[in-house]
């Protein structure tokens, strides 16, 4: 992984999977070795699954789940992330 950049044309891409076989090195070290792009494959999915597991475990244990920023994104942030205001504007414009 460290020797490969000297043998290949650049720019190079590194695909890292947390928990996979390739060691996860700091971004600065990968950049210094010659990797211009680093994909952290499945990192967002693995993070989301961990968060879902924590939230659902709390719901199961306590019988409720509140809008706790340590467990869930706020509803307003969820709406922003999915582009709800843009969809609302399209609906107003095209729904008659």
Asked whether residue 53 falls in the same domain as residue 35, the answer is no
Write out pLDDT tens, residues 10-46. Answer: 899 999 999 999 899 999 999 999 999 999 989 999 9
Write out pLDDT tens, residues 56-95. Answer: 999 999 999 999 998 899 999 999 999 999 999 999 999 8
Predicted confidence (pLDDT) at residue 96 exceeds the cutoff of 80: no
Asked whether residue 31 falls in the same domain as residue 67, the answer is no
What are the b/e assignments for 72-90, b being 16+ CB within 10 Å? beeeeeeeeeeeeeeeeee
Listed in sequence order, the residues at least 6 apart from 59 whose beta carbon sits closer than 8 Å to its beta carbon are 65
Asked whether residue 88 falls in the same domain as residue 71, the answer is yes
pTM of the model: 0.70
Residue-range definition of the domain harbouring residue 69: 49-94
Predicted confidence (pLDDT) at residue 1 exceeds the cutoff of 90: no
């Amino acid at each position: 992984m460290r020797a490969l950049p000297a043998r290949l044309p650049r720019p190079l891409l590194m695909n890292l999977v947390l928990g996979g076989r390739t060691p996860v090195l700091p971004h600065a070290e990968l950049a210094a070795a010659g990797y211009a792009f680093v994909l952290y494959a499945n990192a967002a999915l693995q993070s989301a699954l961990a968060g879902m597991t924590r939230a659902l475990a709390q719901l199961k244990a306590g019988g409720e789940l509140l809008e706790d920023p340590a467990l869930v994104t706020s509803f307003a942030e969820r709406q922003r992330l999915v582009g709800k205001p843009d969809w609302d504007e399209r609906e107003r414009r095209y729904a008659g």
